Amino acid sequence: MQSDYQFKNVLFARARLGEGPIWDSTHQWLYWVDIYNHHVNRFNPVAGETLHFDVGDVVGAIALAGTNRLIMAQRHGLTFLNLDNGEVIPIIQIEADKPNNRFNDGKCDHQGRFWFGSLSLGKPEANLYRYDPDGSLHLMETGLTISNGLGWSPDQQTFYLTDSPQQKIYAYNFDAVTGKISDRRIFVDLTGESFYPDGMAIDSQGNIWSAMWDGWCVICFNHEGKEISRIKLPVQRPTSCTFGGEDLRTLYITSASVGLSEEEIEKSFYSGDLFAVETNTIGLPSYSFNSIV
């Protein structure tokens, strides 16, 4: 098991809840969110420059959506963000009748459909949705607690979904043409561990890289769900990751400072910062939402 990956702190961000990184291969930029500070951030790793858009409310997930635009899963619905002027454009309200829910992680599949899930405080009433380019909304899974890290295998045969409090990563059969999922089974079971699987990235070999909340690390699992490597980090709460860089070999990792005590912050001084790790694998790209509406 490899554990000697070297991380680099690439942005002194001090985010409350950094999450949802995606890579813009056209501009070679990284977008990521700070959920509770209502920020969408854009980082240029070559120039070392960063800027943020204040989107006015919680933002859990983002995806590229055409030229100079992102699609966002905000507190109770979907919106577009115009990257030219920062305008937030409403698309659809969802779960507005569930005040204890908010939207969390999400990303686009290879066909340009946006998948996003909610989290539920208390009862397992969170859901997973798929929003298609034709404007149709589909309920894909129910009974979740925190719908989190998701992704697809390189051959488009398997869909993965994380439920963090349950400490499980699930696998489903995936029909790339219809977008349907079926036959849920446990892919990784971390029950009994002191940490929780959060956001994920998948590489071209089908390995799953999962950020471990309260685990000080990112763990890489092979396509059979076996741990094969671990990236140790100087922060208690890594939250998510994505592959970027010109060759998609750089793993960018977000982190959080929210909920940590003063003593924990002292031990985890760089909490909320953005990290990068040069890996020995090529990642899958961040796909875009192919809107026709």
Q: Which residues are catalytic?
A: 198
DSSP state string for 55-90: -SS-EEEEEE-STTEEEEEETTEEEEEETTT--EEE
Contact by Cβ (8 Å): 130, 110: no
Cβ within 8 Å of residue 83, ≥6 positions away: 42, 53, 68, 69, 70
Strand 88-93 and strand 59-64: pairing? Answer: unpaired
Exposed (0-12), middle (13-18) or buried (19+): which is 194, by Cβ within 10 Å? exposed
Report how far residue 211's alpha carbon sits from residue 215's, in angstroms, rounded to the nearest whole number: 8
Helix (H) or strand (E) holding 264: helix 262-267
Contacts of 109 (CB under 8 A, 6+ apart): 115, 152, 176, 179, 287
Residue corresponding to tokens 């998510």: 240
Q: How far is the C-alpha of 199 from the C-alpha of 211, rounded, in Å?
A: 6
Q: Are strands 18-24 and 29-34 parallel, antiparallel or unpaired?
A: antiparallel
What's the CA gap between 152 and 285, in Å, rounded? 11
Report the C-alpha gap between 69 and 81 in whole angstroms: 6
